[in-house]
Amino acid sequence: MERFDIIIRDDQKSHAYADNIRYKLTTNGWIYDPINPTTVIVVGGDGSMLHGISQYIDHVETMKFVGIKTGTLGFLCDYKDDEVDLLIHDLTTNTLVIHDYPLLSVKTDGHHHIFYAVNECRVENIVVSLDMQISINGEYFEDYRGTGMCVTTQLGSTAYNRSIGGAVIQEGLDAIEMTPIAGIHHMAYRSFQSPLILSATSQIKMVSPSFENARLGIDALSYPLDGCTMVETTLSHRKVHIVHGKTMSYLNRLSQLF
């Protein structure tokens, strides 16, 4: 029997939709289980979806995530707010299309655990400019100076990465992308200014003599980098399973949202 949890955007409209979904699923024999769900339903937008995935990040491979959009942005949420009955039908009849998206694995020399990102990892400092040496697959690439660096998955290429001038990577391509955040470029400092799309097996290492006051952004979360000298990113073998219940091409979704 399917067990489900509901992640809800904190507004009256989203709570009302969530109550309706909970009632209709339990009426169809589903079990509401926020401790050990097999399906996580997100009522809100992309921010709510990222929050829901981060909440279950340690067990993300054992469940699927499906979103209904009541917020302002719903690239990860496949159903609109007037499609509750369609959502219930697709869930209870298992007429779903599930896409598997690899997570970005992020390690530092100052934290004792691995961070996992759905969209991107950001190393940034808004107080002072960062000095970092960038290497790719163990090979020196450049000395960078500026606000920071964004490393994104294919799925996350339409998010923060796009807003800082990064390229949008077509769905289905195994790749990660590195995009500089406000790099300094003049006679004294010059680094690669364009987004760099790399193969899915690439390892990106950022080393600095001091990350004091810098932050490590993992999707919507942020962690201090004080005391760290190294941040390493790779594409993980772990994957998040996101439901796409309707037939809509990737380009169609892009054109509707942007």
Q: What CATH number is attached to the domain comprising 11?
A: 3.40.50.10330
Answer whether residue 243 is part of any domain.
no
Contact 192, 142 (CB under 8 A): yes
Strand pairing category for 139-153 and 230-244? unpaired
Answer whether residue 22 is part of any domain.
yes
Q: Which of 44, 75, 95 is the last residue of a domain?
A: 95
Contact 17, 81 (CB under 8 A): yes
Catalytic residue among 5, 46, 78, 90: 46
The reported pLDDT for the residue numbered 120 is 97
Q: Which of 95, 130, 147 is the last residue of a domain?
A: 95
Same structural domain for residues 178 and 214? yes
Same structural domain for residues 114 and 56? no
Residue 157 vs residues 65, 154, 160, 197: alpha-carbon distances, Å: 19, 5, 7, 10
Q: Decide: residue 192, CB within 10 A, 0-12 exposed, 13-18 middle, 19+ buried.
A: middle
- Number of CB atoms found within 10 A of residue 98's CB: 12
Residue 224 belongs to a domain with what CATH number? 2.60.200.30
pLDDT mean by block of 10 residues, the chain; 258 residues: 93 95 96 96 93 95 94 78 91 89 96 95 94 96 94 95 93 92 75 88 96 96 96 97 75 67
Same structural domain for residues 222 and 173? yes
The reported pLDDT for the residue numbered 65 is 97
Same structural domain for residues 17 and 52? yes
The reported pLDDT for the residue numbered 71 is 72
Contact 34, 12 (CB under 8 A): no
196 - beta bridge partners? 178
Answer whether residue 252 is part of any domain.
no
Q: At residue 92, what is the residue type?
A: T
146 - beta bridge partners? 130, 183
> pLDDT of 198-256, one tens digit each?
999 999 999 999 999 999 999 999 999 999 999 999 999 999 999 986 666 677 767 66
Answer whether residue 173 is part of any domain.
yes
Answer whether residue 129 is part of any domain.
yes
Same structural domain for residues 184 and 128? yes
Domain that holds residue 152: 103-238
Instruction: Report phi then psi at 186, rounded to 5.
Output: -155, -165
Cα angle for residues 114, 66, 105 (degrees, 5° grid): 15
Instruction: Report phi then psi at 9, rounded to 5.
Output: -65, 140
Contact 40, 75 (CB under 8 A): no
The reported pLDDT for the residue numbered 190 is 65
Write the CB contacts of 10 (distance below 8 Å, at least 6 apart in sequence).
none
Contact 124, 148 (CB under 8 A): yes
Counted domains in the chain: 2
- Number of CB atoms found within 10 A of residue 197's CB: 18
Same structural domain for residues 233 and 118? yes
Same structural domain for residues 91 and 108? no
The reported pLDDT for the residue numbered 246 is 63
The reported pLDDT for the residue numbered 257 is 64
- Residue 46 designated active-site: yes
Cα angle for residues 45, 176, 158 (degrees, 5° grid): 30
Answer whether residue 195 is part of any domain.
yes
The reported pLDDT for the residue numbered 73 is 65
The reported pLDDT for the residue numbered 186 is 72
Same structural domain for residues 111 and 234? yes
